[in-house]
Amino acid sequence: MLQVKNIHFSYKKKTVLKDISFKAEAGEYIAIIGESGSGKSTLLKVLRGEYDLNKGQVLWKDEDILGPKFNLVVGYDFMKYVAQEFELEPYISVEENIGQFLSNFYPEEKKQRVAELLDVVELQSFTKTKVKLLSGGQKQRVALARALAKQPEILLLDEPFSHIDNFKKQSLRRNIFSYLKKKKITCIVATHDKEDVLGYADKMLVLDNNMIVANNTPQELYSNPETPLIASFFGEFNIINNEIVYSYQLKIVAHSNLKVKVVQCYFKGNYYLIEASLNDEVIFFEHHSAIKKGEEVFIK
C-alpha cells in the first residue's frame, strides 16, 4: 500500500503542495487532475523521492520514500516513473531499450519479456528500429514498455498518452491499464485527459490551490461535481440558478422559463454542441441536429 501522510512541499519558498494525504492499494489506479501549475507533476516527483519534503511522510509497504538528502541515487527499484521527457537511448533499437536493464543470464526469458511488452504497447513491427527514428508517440510507448520491463510494484505516469495520436490512443489505454490490473501494479497518473480516467481509474484526486479538494471515484465526481473545476474536467457545463448542469443535461422543449438565443453551432459527430445566450450569459447544450444562428428556443 502507498500511504501519503500530510505532505507539504515548497520550491524556493513557494508552496507547491500543502496538506496532501491519500492511500493507494496494490493494483489500484489513482488519477490526479488539476489545472496546469496545480502541482500534479511535482506530486509524482515527490512520490518518487526526487524532492525532500518540508513536512509529512510517503510510505510504500511501510518503507519510507525519502528524498536526495537521504539517497544518493534518486528512486527505488520497486517504483518506475515515466516523465514527459522519455530518457531513452536513441541509437539502439526499440527491443534493446526495453530490455536494457533485464538480465542477460536468462536470454530466452528476456526475449519473451520484451516480446510481451512490445505487444502491450503495440510496437511489434518496430522491434529492430532505432529509437531516434521513431515519432514522439512511438517513443512514449517505448518508455512505457521500458518502465514495465522489470515488473515494478508501483508506476508513476505523467501525461502518459499525450504524444500518442488518436488512432492508437484508445486501444493503447485499454492494453496498458488492463495489463496493470492483471499484474496488480499500483498506478498513479497525472493527466489533463478525462479519457485516461473514465473507465479505468479507481479514484480521482483533484488538486487546486496546492491542496486536494476532492478524492472520490470518477463516477461519483462526474455525477455530483461540487465545483466548476471538477465539472470542467468532464466536459462542457453551465451554471444555472447556482447549479452545475452539463451540456448534455439540457434539452429543447416546447416551453419553459429558460428561453435562449442560438449564437453558434458546433458539429461533434453524433450530436451538435449549441452555444446560446441566456440573459447575456453564455450557455451550452447538445442537440441532435444543427440550429440556425439567431433562432430562439426553450430549454429545460
DSSP states along 74-120: -S-TTEEEE-SS----TTSBHHHHHTTTS-TTSHHHHHHHHHHHHHH
Decide if 2-223 and 236-299 have a common fold.
no
Specify the DSSP class assigned to residue 13: T
**Angle at the Cα of 267 (from 265 to 272), degrees rounded to 5?**
65
Q: Is 108 helix (H, G, I), strand (E, B) or coil?
A: helix
Cell numbers given for 20: 496532501
Alpha-carbon Rg of the chain, whole angstroms?
Answer: 23
Task: Identify the DSSP state of 254.
Answer: S
* Whole-number pLDDT of residue 84: 75
- Using CA atoms, how far apart are residues 104 and 92, in angstroms rounded to an integer? 16
CA-to-CA separations, 77 to 12, 68, 274, 277, 295, in angstroms, rounded = 29, 15, 51, 56, 62
**Can you tell me the distance from the alpha carbon of 228 to that of 245, in angstroms, rounded to the nearest whole number?**
10
Q: Cell numbers at residue 121, please?
A: 504497447
Which residues lie below 8 Å from residue 115, measured CB to CB, with a gap of 6+? 124
Q: Is the pLDDT of residue 216 over 90?
A: yes
236-299 belongs to which CATH class?
mainly beta
Average pLDDT, the chain: 93
Q: What are the domain boundaries of the chain?
A: 2-223, 236-299
HSE-up of residue 227 (Cα within 13 Å, Cβ side): 11
Nearest to 273 by CA among 170, 263, 166, 169: 263
Condensed to tens digits (0 to 9), the pLDDT of residues 256-300 reads: 999 999 999 999 999 999 999 998 899 999 999 999 999 999 999
Write down the pLDDT at residue 198: 93
- Give the global pTM: 0.90
pLDDT at 91: 92
Cell of 130: 532505432
| CATH architecture of the domain formed by 2-223 | 3-Layer(aba) Sandwich (3.40)
Query: CA-to-CA distance for 56 and 6, rounded, in angstroms?
Result: 5
Reported confidence tier of residue 75, pLDDT bands at 50, 70, 90: confident
Cβ neighbours of 92 (radius 10 Å): 14
